């Protein structure tokens, strides 16, 4: 780690680029919903990474945490026999000891180990809905191979922290040994999201655009979903149903001092999901993105409007 004026100026420039990169993708609903995802830049043995709980869209140079990479890599490369339950507690203990500069109660992203491992300067990890249409599919690995070949590395699901970092390391080594080429700068994490690396913001933007475009083209070529016979409630019925459900929602959400916001959406896609058997199956089969688990819970609450002329008599199942 260097502390010369030139090294400090280089680090400041890279931090400014990291902030621009994070804000650009954090403000794009194609890549970020809520506060999910993390970003980092490496320079001269120091990892600068987003603090846990900070959104990509709100990143500032002051909210980035600096870590000495040496102890992080030592943990990653420790004996594989070493048992790690999820890796979170042990990773945080090492990370806190590796902090450089201001010491406070902020915690770096638990994904800091794979950020340290990947060789490119910038690492961006997001949970894009379009990418997760592939990573959460039953044949996700097969679809990824068909669409991207060896330009995207598929990582089977594993717990975050040390287990995930080791899985990424091992997958990269296996790819390089099998193909004789460098591991790709894009990774699909099964049931999780996307990692893109690069030595500049432009590289990450180009790779991300290519991936999203290819998946969107693939989805556009599929036959439309047949939802069956779906009927939308009339305006009066919808209002009556909302008045019936409202008290129950207020009671369920009044569990803390945090403000909750409830919105109503009766767009064709929302109605199809809520009112068809296929839609209910999709909504209740499990979360489609980590952000759903963190911000709304893994499974939705499904209420049935009773048949008949008086939907105000609705009851919760």
**CA separation for the pair 160, 166 (Å, rounded):** 10
- How many structural domains does the chain have? 2
Same domain, 159 and 248: no
| SS (HEC) of 210-266 | HHHHHHHHHHHCCCCCCCCCCCCCCHHHHHHHHHHHHHHHHHHHCCCCCCCCCCCCC
CATH number for the domain including 23?
3.40.225.10
Task: Give a yes or no: residue 230 inside a domain.
Answer: no
236 burial via Cβ count (<10 Å: 0-12, 13-18, 19+): exposed
Q: Which among 228, 315, 239, 314 has a CA at the least distance from the CA of 274?
A: 228
**CA separation for the pair 108, 125 (Å, rounded):** 14
| 101: alpha, beta or left? (left if phi > 0; alpha if psi -120 to 50) | left
Tokens 């893994």 correspond to 298
Same domain, 65 and 195: yes
**pLDDT attached to residue 2:** 57
How does pLDDT run along the chain (317 residues), one tens digit per residue? 557 888 788 889 999 999 999 999 999 999 987 777 899 999 999 999 999 888 999 999 988 999 999 999 999 998 776 665 555 678 899 999 999 987 888 899 889 999 999 999 999 999 999 999 999 998 999 999 999 999 999 999 998 889 999 999 999 999 999 999 999 999 999 999 999 999 999 999 999 999 999 999 999 999 988 988 888 888 888 888 888 888 878 888 887 777 777 778 888 888 898 888 898 888 888 887 777 887 788 888 887 766 655 544 444 43
Domain range holding 284? Answer: 235-313
Count, residues in the chain: 317
């Amino acid at each position: 780690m260097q502390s010369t004026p030139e090294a400090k100026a280089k680090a400041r420039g890279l931090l400014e680029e990291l902030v621009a990169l994070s804000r650009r993708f954090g403000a794009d609903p194609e890549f970020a919903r809520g506060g999910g995802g993390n970003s980092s830049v490496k320079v001269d043995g120091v990892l600068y990474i987003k603090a846990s709980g900070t959104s990509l869209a709100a990143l500032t140079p002051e909210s980035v945490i600096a870590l000495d990479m040496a102890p992080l890599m030592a943990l990653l490369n420790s004996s594989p026999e070493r048992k790690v339950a999820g890796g979170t507690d042990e990773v945080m203990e090492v990370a806190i000891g590796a902090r450089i500069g201001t010491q406070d109660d902020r915690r770096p992203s638990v994904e800091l180990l794979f950020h340290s491992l990947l060789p490119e300067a910038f690492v961006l990890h997001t949970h894009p809905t379009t990418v997760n249409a592939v990573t959460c599919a039953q044949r996700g690995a097969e679809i990824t191979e068909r669409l991207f070949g060896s330009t995207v590395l598929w990582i089977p699901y594993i717990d975050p922290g040390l287990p995930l970092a080791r899985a990424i390391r091992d997958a990269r080594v296996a790819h390089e040994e099998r193909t004789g080429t460098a591991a790709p700068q894009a990774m699909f994490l099964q049931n999780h999201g996307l990692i893109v690396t690069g030595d500049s913001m432009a590289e990450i933007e180009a790779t991300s655009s290519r991936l999203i475009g290819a998946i969107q083209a693939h989805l556009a070529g599929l036959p439309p979903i047949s939802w069956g016979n779906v009927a939308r409630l009339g305006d009066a019925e919808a209002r009556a149903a909302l008045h019936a459900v409202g008290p129950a929602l207020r009671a369920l959400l009044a569990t803390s001092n945090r403000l909750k916001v409830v919105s109503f959406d009766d767009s064709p896609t929302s109605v199809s999901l809520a009112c068809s058997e296929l839609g209910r199956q999709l909504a209740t089969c499990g979360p489609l993105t980590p952000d759903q688990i963190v911000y709304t819970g893994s499974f939705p609450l499904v209420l049935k409007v009773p048949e008949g002329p008086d939907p105000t008599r609705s009851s919760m199942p």
